[in-house]
Chains A and B, each alone.
Chain A
Amino acid sequence: MNTAALLGLYRTDRVLAWENGHPITYGHFLSDVGALADLLPEKPTVINLADNRYRFLVGFAAALVRGQTTLLPPSRTPGALAQIAREYGSSYCLVDGTEQVEQLPSYQLPKGTESPNDKLKVPQIPIDHPALVAFTSGSTGRPHPHSKTWGSLIAVARSTGTRLGLKTPDQMTVVATVPHQHMYGFEASMMLPIQHGMAFHVGRPLFPEDVRLALADVPSPRMLVTTPLHIRACVTARSRLPPVECILSATAPLPSSLAKQAETLFQTRVYEVYGFTEAGSLATRRTVAENTWHVLEGITLHQESAGCSMQAPYLRGPILFPDLVSLQGPHRFVLHGRGTDLVNIGGHRGSLSDLSQKLNEIEGVQDGVFFLPDETGTSVTRLIAFAVAPGKAAEHILSALRTVIDPMFLPRPLHLVPHLPRNETGKLTRAALLGLLQELHKEERHGT
């Protein structure tokens, strides 16, 4: 059986995590993993809801040691968690706060062992073990699972590290503003560090001042794992960040002007990472230098009749890009835009047809649709929804939506209309929806 080590590099006294300025060593980590692995229940799948990055990682690693699979719920709404609980009935939850999933047994992650045990060996994990399941929202209204083997997670972490020129002797520390329960956050703030002997900050800073303090809390050299939204916030606030070796950005396209401002203001290099749930991270670019994306080592691109696909030794078969891309040979591509059904709001990817279906399932809604208006200005463009719901108040529909969809996708605003502009085949074109929106705006201006 082929196996690969849990850690790319192991030294007992090397620092893995920083919590409130206190270091937690790799040695301590292995003790915590061993102790927790002995306590975990005998179940195949686990939903790890820990907010603290270190405790999440201990839970993930202990589950691996026990041959279990960690599920990454697509969102934390009670509806999404309940759906996962229904489909993976023999699961349990790991929590480090008060959050619980009603239908499943929950266990509090322990605070950690007292002192590390020096004699522990780094666990070896079978490379074909399904370590993780991530979900995408499909047009069916049910989350679609994507299983990740331990081998594929390691391959992506290694090739990303090679691309970024990470060298284990000069230990870099990651500060991440993105959640570790999302694929990008998981890969860049958990897998990248443990495969390259790096360290990370356990928190998840949000405001520019939080980012500055978190960076100041860890030693140099530092890497900031973030999104265009947070980069824009730090640039606008003209934050005086401590020296940052490099910034990784993903989840939405980063305008090259913003990348340039960030590089100048923070004296750093800004890299973008491109990926999607089905494949994981697959390409990078230095945004200020070029528009073209370069795939990670081992990946090849192909033009197929249905679109462009990518292939890698760790994937079972070719995977189609969900976005519009054009190839520049087998290793480079240009991104032209997101597919028409997929939207990305502040790093959360969703399907418009899935969201519309959830709207239509609400009691009292006769017809409804979500759509993304044309992007304006620099702030995040939010979704708009139209609903035909005689006798219902918008507030009633919004509170029902709030229990089933991620807050980022809540419509801004939800317009109640007498009917939707469906064409003779029953379709709703984007042009018709934009027309309806314009009419509504006109009426508002005239105060009718």
Chain B
Amino acid sequence: MSDVSPLEAEVAKLIVRTLTLKVDPAHIQPEEPLFGDGLGLDSIDALELSLAISQSYGHQIRSDDPDTVATFASLRSLCQSIEKHRTK
């Protein structure tokens, strides 16, 4: 199992809380896909999650950003994007 950064642990909790998922945040693998087959999230989740992220970190997610597909690919890529764009 790969090491989880403090931000990754924090965002994993945010994902589980925001989307009322029935998984232990500590069990979300940082490299596992968030959408489709991994956690099985969909576009409603993406929208809910983007709101929670903008409120917690001040990062406004956009889908025409060429990085967005990559951003939501996994917990790790999401956290890298937050790290890069956060204002709080």
A53, CB-defined interface residue at 8 Å: no
Given contacts A236-B51, A237-B54, contact A206 B40 (CB under 8 A): no
In angstroms, Cα B45 to Cα A379, docked, is 10
In angstroms, Cα B13 to Cα A409, docked, is 24
When C-beta atoms are compared, the residue in chain A nearest to B41 turns out to be: A407
Which of A9-17, A78-86, A99-107, A208-216 lies at the binding interface? A208-216
When C-beta atoms are compared, the residue in chain A nearest to B68 turns out to be: A207
A346, CB-defined interface residue at 8 Å: yes
Q: Are B20 and A412 in contact (CB under 8 A)?
A: yes
In angstroms, Cα B60 to Cα A408, docked, is 24
| Contact for B47 among A203, A207, A213, A410, CB less than 8 A | A207
**Residues of B contacting A413 in the complex (Cβ-Cβ under 8 angstroms):** 21-22
Q: Are B62 and A210 in contact (CB under 8 A)?
A: yes
User: In angstroms, how far is the closest chain A Cβ from the Cβ of B21?
Assistant: 7
In angstroms, Cα B20 to Cα A131, docked, is 42
Report how many residues on chain B are interfacial, defined by Cβ distance under 8 Å.
21
Chain A interface residue bracket vs B? 20 to 34
Contact count A vs B, C-beta below 8 Å = 59
In angstroms, Cα B10 to Cα A95, docked, is 41
In angstroms, Cα B65 to Cα A206, docked, is 12
Q: Mark B25-50, 1 if CB is under 8 A from A, else 0.
A: 00000000000010010111011101
| Contact for A237 among B40, B44, B51, B64, CB less than 8 A | B51
User: In angstroms, how far is the closest chain B Cβ from the Cβ of A232?
Assistant: 8
User: In angstroms, how far is the closest chain A Cβ from the Cβ of B11?
Assistant: 17
B63, CB-defined interface residue at 8 Å: yes
Given contacts A213-B62, A233-B50, contact A408 B22 (CB under 8 A): no
Q: Are A402 and B40 in contact (CB under 8 A)?
A: yes
In angstroms, Cα B54 to Cα A209, docked, is 10
**Residues of B contacting A207 in the complex (Cβ-Cβ under 8 angstroms):** 46-47, 50, 60-63
| Contact for A233 among B22, B47, B64, CB less than 8 A | B47
**Residues of B contacting A197 in the complex (Cβ-Cβ under 8 angstroms):** none
In angstroms, Cα B41 to Cα A402, docked, is 11
Identify which of A209, A213, A229 gathers the most chain B CB atoms within 10 Å of its CB. Answer: A209
User: In angstroms, how far is the closest chain A Cβ from the Cβ of B72?
Assistant: 11
| Contact for B22 among A206, A399, A412, CB less than 8 A | A412
When C-beta atoms are compared, the residue in chain B nearest to A401 turns out to be: B40
In angstroms, Cα B44 to Cα A380, docked, is 8
**Residues of A contacting B46 in the complex (Cβ-Cβ under 8 angstroms):** 206-207
Q: Are B37 and A209 in contact (CB under 8 A)?
A: no
Q: Are B62 and A407 in contact (CB under 8 A)?
A: no
Interface set of A (CB-CB < 8 Å, partner B): 203, 205-210, 213, 229-230, 233, 236-237, 345-346, 379-380, 382, 398-399, 402, 407-408, 410, 412-413
What 6 new A-B contacts, CB under 8 Å, besides A210-B64, A229-B47, A237-B60?
A207-B61, A207-B63, A208-B54, A408-B42, A412-B21, A413-B21
A-B contact pairs, 26 of them (CB 8 A): A206-B43, A206-B46, A207-B46, A207-B47, A207-B50, A207-B60, A207-B61, A207-B62, A208-B54, A208-B60, A209-B61, A210-B62, A213-B62, A236-B51, A237-B51, A237-B54, A346-B43, A380-B48, A398-B40, A402-B37, A407-B42, A410-B40, A410-B42, A412-B20, A412-B21, A412-B22
Interface set of B (CB-CB < 8 Å, partner A): 19-22, 37, 40, 42-44, 46-48, 50-51, 54-55, 60-64
